Copies of this chain bind each other. A is one copy, B any other.
Amino acid sequence: MIEWIGLLAGALTSTSFFPQAIKVIRTKQLSSISLVMYINFTFGVALWIFYGFYLHSLSVFICNTITLIPASVILCLKVRETVQSKRMKRDSN
């Protein structure tokens, strides 16, 4: 029973980033997204993947690989938005 709870927890936390990625892709609106959060989170998830791979823990490896996909999409879009807004500020000066 408890393993089912662990699997459900993993499924929920891993897939929860997909709605956020879809929302920012559709709306192109990232103003309230934190760049610092997604840098830390994406790097942490990458470390979890290495950790799971090293310890042959399939659940840690798979859950975090699923999470890495939407999280890195959001990170790339946020980095692009940040670079673009800085460039516009510089050009307007």
Q: Does A83 contact B (CB under 8 A)?
A: no
A–B Cβ pairs within 8 angstroms, 8 of them? A6-B47, A10-B44, A14-B44, A15-B40, A16-B44, A23-B37, A24-B32, A30-B32
Instruction: State which size class the interface on A falls in.
Output: 35 or more
Residues 1-37 of A contacting B (Cβ, < 8 Å): 2, 5-6, 8-20, 22-24, 27, 29-34, 36-37
Q: Does A45 contact B (CB under 8 A)?
A: yes
| Residue ID in chain B nearest A54 by CB atoms | B2
Q: Quick check: B29 and A41 within 8 Å, CB to CB?
A: no
Given A12-B47, A50-B5, A55-B2, also A27-B20 (CB < 8 A): no
